[in-house]
Amino acid sequence: MRIETDFSYSAIAPFLVMAIVTYAIWHWLVPRSLRGLQVSFPRSKKQYEVHVVTETVEDVRALLGQPKMRFGVFIYIMAIAGALLFFFEWVFTQTGLKDHYDGVNLALAGIFVLIPGIASVVVSLGKQVLREKSDTKATLQDTRLTTHLLYIVLAIIWVGFNYAIFSFQIFDSMSMSSRRATFMFMVFLPAVIAYGRILGSSWLPLFQSNRLLSRGEPSDLHPQRPTLRRQFSAMVLTVTAGLMPFTALNALFSVIMINLNPEMFVHSAHVLSLPEYTPQASVMEEGGVLGFYAIELFSNIGERGVREPLVVATLLFLLLNVAIVGVAFVYEVAHILILAPLDGAERL
């Protein structure tokens, strides 16, 4: 499918659909999802003192309208808009409504996604290196302009440092695509570390809470008895979160094995002869070691209608497991913020 670089009226429809859906998400879905926002303070083992922050949609909008929230809200909406524009551009093309991709929409979507990515690096790097006085207080006061400038300078230094490192001759043996991928990973590493620290420290409460909810029992973080729909979603999250450590170990083990012996990940002739199989550039695109051997195992199923969904479901789970848990974690944190007693005492 070709990419049309010149502007055409066919680019308007995906953009309008994206704008409508983004507005609906922001105006309807987000405020209603954040109703019942709570802050809980541990009082003793498995006992929490819970305070309700938002009860209505108006409370949520007032909270999101705070000065220090505006930048995060703007970045959030921009990221959603970029992802949706990519998605609807693809949908319009695949369904035959368009016979090409519009470069204008792709470029705009890329900018919408890239800016939040850069912002995440700037903020996460600055927060981990520089410590503001306002971080120790329960306040939504604006960060000083000097701190913002320091964040930007620090991010520029970080990007320049990585660029200089990967310009050395010792990396000449790497292919250009591998070098670019490694460089981008290192650039975004501060955001990855910040996300990993938060997700890792909150994995156990997330797992324990959803395990109780999946049984139909209230948890410390959700004191109300769950509905049937909430119970089902909690069961899915319990299974997904429980398997997350194994998925992470699979990724780590796969990276190690690729570097030690990349020739071991070569599919059998039987797999290569399957009509639905498409060779990938790396075994990581097939879900690592587990995905590789899952493809080999399921290739023995003669019925394509059974074999193909099993492979797709397994690979999607391996590739998206951490992302699914991450989204669930963000949703949980948006409803209940767990503060340690010492941290709460310092901020009050």
Domain ranges of the chain: 1-142, 144-187, 202-348
Average pLDDT over residues 307-318: 80
143-171: per-residue pLDDT in tens?
Answer: 567 777 888 888 888 888 888 887 777 77
C-alpha separations of 203 from 196, 322, 331 in Å: 10, 11, 13
Half-sphere exposure of 277 (CA within 13 A, CB side): 18
Asked whether the beta carbons of 264 and 332 are under 8 A apart, the reply is no
Reported as type and span, the H/E element at residue 276 is: none
Measured CA to CA, the distance from residue 148 to residue 115 in angstroms comes to: 16
Residue type, 146: T
Q: Per-residue pLDDT for 80 more than 50?
A: yes
Measured CA to CA, the distance from residue 212 to residue 225 in angstroms comes to: 10
Average pLDDT over residues 95-104: 85
Strands (E) in the chain, as ranges, are 3-4, 38-44, 47-52, 101-102, 336-338
Give the per-residue pLDDT at 15.
92
Measured CA to CA, the distance from residue 337 to residue 39 in angstroms comes to: 5
Say what the pTM is. Answer: 0.63
Measured CA to CA, the distance from residue 47 to residue 333 in angstroms comes to: 18
Q: Per-residue pLDDT for 326 more than 60?
A: no
Task: Name the residue with tokens 């071991």.
Answer: 264
CA dihedral 292, 295, 296, 301 (to 10 degrees): 170
Average pLDDT, the chain: 76
Average pLDDT over residues 73-78: 84
Other CB atoms closer than 10 Å to residue 341's CB: what's the count? 11
Long-range contacts of 303-311 (CB under 8 A, 24+ apart): 304/275, 304/276, 308/276
Long-range contacts of 174-179 (CB under 8 A, 24+ apart): none
Top-confidence residue, 220 or 163: 163
- For every residue of 42-94, DSSP letters joined together read EEETTEEEEEE---SHHHHHHHHTSGGGHHHHHHHHHHHHHHHHHHHHHHHHH
